[in-house]
Amino acid sequence: MKKLLPRRSRDSHKGTYGRVAVIGGSRGMAGAPYLTSMAALRTGTGLVYSIVPKSLENIMSIKLTEVIIKSAEDKNKGYFTKDSLSDILEGIEGMDAIAIGPGIGADKERTYLIEEIINNYKGPIVIDADGINCLSINPDILYKRDQPIIITPHPGELGRFLGISTKEIQENRIYYSKYTSEKYNIIVALKGFNTVVASPKNEIYINATGNPGMATAGSGDLLTGIIASFIGQGLISIDAAKLGVFCHGLAGDLASIYKGEYGVIATDILENIPYSIKKIQE
């Protein structure tokens, strides 16, 4: 992992370390894109943009100090609609990587938006949470894509994506990670105990960091931001996924030392992301 971690040049500036956009949020779910955006910052991204429905613009501006807030028209519905598309596409121009899904919700309009983003954005995409649920309605859209996509499902989301039970996923985690990766030419990071990272080139990585305290709301949103950050800083997608799940788990391990596995919440993991990276550098 130390070999994967990018070296930082003394002669650098914020633009050197990437531009990452996080597309997510809906009424009642502002915390998800907040956590993803902050995780990208704490992992080292130079510029992070949070693209949210216009109804959430004020609350996100209050919650996020260092993140640039961009809003998309939502007709005061509190979630992205088809009217949001032009603002989103404008907002992701020039980004080195984007993350879609945290707190976004799932319906026909948001499925349409995700498909259009996949069709129009020419860089790497990390898709999580309801982004995966929307994608499961028409996964064939992935066949048209020649730029990297990483999905970060928990077992239930991968089960919905493949149309099988969570139990079956859990009993065959490596097989279904590999199957999904090869079938759709994407990278899969199947979350859970011993997170599995699979690439279409038949590379399998089983992560050893992490603990049961990380089974808490928002933990997955952090992983999305960490992986997107590493991609934005120049890592190839498979290395970003491997390093991302390792750092994420290690941050959770460090948090549990002080809070215990019962008491860890997502912001505890967030606060320990820099320390996990520092520990890798040692």
pLDDT at 146: 87
Is residue 213 assigned to a domain? Answer: yes
Is residue 8 assigned to a domain? Answer: no
Is residue 1 assigned to a domain? Answer: no
Is residue 63 assigned to a domain? Answer: yes
Is residue 5 assigned to a domain? Answer: no
pLDDT at 7: 87
Contact 152, 223 (CB under 8 A): yes
Model confidence pLDDT, tens digit, residues 109-148: 999 999 999 999 999 999 999 999 999 999 999 998 889 9
Cα–Cα separations (whole angstroms), residue 154 to 69, 167, 181, 229? 28, 12, 15, 20
Model confidence pLDDT, tens digit, residues 27-74: 999 999 999 999 999 999 999 999 999 999 999 999 999 999 999 999
The closest of 216, 215, 196, 192 to 205, measured between CA atoms, is 196
The closest of 191, 219, 224, 214 to 264, measured between CA atoms, is 214
Model confidence pLDDT, tens digit, residues 232-264: 999 999 999 999 999 999 999 999 999 999 999
Average pLDDT value for the chain: 97
Residue type, 275: Y
Q: 0.95 cut: is pTM over it?
A: yes
Is residue 4 assigned to a domain? Answer: no
Q: Supply the CATH number for residue 207's domain.
A: 3.40.1190.20
pLDDT at 6: 87
Spatial distance between the Cα atoms of 92 and 19, rounded to a whole number of angstroms: 9
Which tokens in the block code for residue 51? 């693209």
Describe the strand order of the beta sheet including 187-190 as a list of residue ranges.
68-72, 47-53, 19-23, 97-100, 125-127, 149-151, 187-190, 196-198, 204-206
Is residue 72 assigned to a domain? Answer: yes
Is residue 3 assigned to a domain? Answer: no
pLDDT at 81: 97
The parent domain of residue 86 ranges over: 17-275
Spatial distance between the Cα atoms of 151 and 200, rounded to a whole number of angstroms: 13
Domain count, the chain: 1
Cα–Cα separations (whole angstroms), residue 37 to 58, 82, 118? 16, 23, 20
